[in-house]
């Protein structure tokens, strides 16, 4: 996959998608969003890809949406419903396979919001998070006011959104914004280790489990429990369920085929 603002590499079933605009700290413009959307669709359709890692590389995750591009935008420009950021983030969030964000350096504004569409966030100990939009006279408009409160609670989310302050990786861990903090030089090894752990599981069960959590978060509890039950029942139609349980009873590791 040849892109200008991102790099996609696939290795042993794990796709690594790296933001690549170092001169502007990986600021996210429409080209980045469009390329992210294209890559997300392609990786979704590729059954050999089991897990996706999104990163900005060793120095910075992303310093937000491209302020240069936004500065002269009109309300009409911004209100178009198919805006590229929304499309890209939805495609990533709904990918039917695990997505891990591996975050070093700044993850600000739209960059922080991009980490929120991943399933799991691993931060380097030099990572910093923030939603500084309020200081620009706007608000976090790529899901920050919706996904962040769902992840860390509205009180903590509002503090970050209202202040625009940055927090360090350890604080992000304390408030549940990231799953794990690791020394910066171990970030990619840790992300790959986690990706391999996920990739060893059955692809259909992973897909249904992700869907059950994501869809359930959009429903009330009763509807969510019913949806979970449908996903659960469906898995009993898979070979992987038979294999997983047989392997347990035979005291051997399961060999999942993803069907």
**Residues noted as catalytic:** 113, 133
Binding mask 98-127 for ligand HXC (x = CB under 6 A): --------x-xxx-----------------
Question: Can residue 142 be called a binding residue for ligand HXC (CB under 6 A)?
Answer: yes
CA 1 to chain centre: 20
Is the Cβ of residue 56 or residue 109 nearer to ligand HXC in the bound state? Answer: 109
Of 55, 241, 171, nearest to 159 by C-alpha is 171
Other residues' Cβ atoms within 10 Å of the Cβ of residue 147: 20
Work out how close the CB of 157 gets to ligand HXC at its nearest, in angstroms, rounded to a whole number.
15
Q: Which stretch binds ligand HXC (CB under 6 A): 2-10, 63-71, 188-196, 216-224?
A: 63-71
Which of the residues 168 through 197 are near ligand HXC (CB under 6 A)? none
Pairing relationship of beta strands 166-168 and 128-130 according to DSSP bridges? antiparallel
DSSP secondary structure string for all residues of 62-104? B--B-HHHHTT--HHHHH-TT-HHHHHHHHHHT-SS-EEEEE-
- Rounded Cα gap, residues 50 and 55, in angstroms: 17
Question: Can residue 240 be called a binding residue for ligand HXC (CB under 6 A)?
Answer: no
Question: Can residue 56 be called a binding residue for ligand HXC (CB under 6 A)?
Answer: no
Residue with tokens 């695990």: 98
Work out how close the CB of 242 gets to ligand HXC at its nearest, in angstroms, rounded to a whole number.
45
Is the Cβ of residue 13 or residue 64 nearer to ligand HXC in the bound state? Answer: 64
Q: Look up residue 188 and give its DSSP letter.
A: H
Binding residues for ligand HXC, rule: CB under 6 A, are 24-25, 27, 63-68, 85, 106, 108-110, 132-133, 136, 141-142
């Amino acid at each position: 996959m040849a892109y200008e603002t991102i790099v996609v590499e696939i290795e042993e079933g794990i796709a690594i998608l790296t933001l690549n605009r170092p001169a502007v700290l990986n600021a996210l413009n429409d080209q980045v969003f469009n390329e992210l959307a294209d890559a997300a669709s392609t990786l979704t359709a590729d059954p050999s890809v089991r897990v996706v890692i999104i990163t900005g590389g060793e120095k910075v995750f992303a310093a937000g949406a491209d302020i240069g591009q936004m500065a002269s935008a009109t309300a009409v420009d911004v209100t178009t419903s198919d805006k590229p950021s929304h499309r890209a983030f939805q495609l990533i969030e709904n990918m039917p396979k695990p997505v891990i964000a591996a975050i070093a350096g700044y993850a600000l504004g739209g960059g922080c919001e991009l980490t929120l569409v991943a399933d799991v966030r691993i931060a380097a100990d030099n990572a910093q998070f923030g939603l500084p939009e309020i200081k620009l006279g706007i608000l976090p408009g790529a899901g920050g006011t919706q996904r962040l409160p769902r992840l860390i609670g509205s009180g903590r989310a509002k503090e970050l959104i209202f202040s625009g302050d940055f927090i360090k990786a350890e604080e992000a861990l304390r408030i549940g914004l990231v799953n794990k903090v690791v020394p910066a030089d171990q970030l990619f090894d840790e992300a790959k280790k986690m990706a391999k752990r996920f990739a060893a599981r059955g692809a259909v069960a992973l897909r249904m489990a992700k869907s059950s959590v994501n869809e359930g978060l959009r429903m009330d509890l009763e509807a969510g429990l019913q949806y979970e039950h449908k996903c659960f029942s469906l898995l009993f139609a898979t070979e992987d369920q038979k294999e997983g349980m047989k392997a347990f009873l035979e005291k051997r590791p399961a060999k999942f085929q993803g069907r």
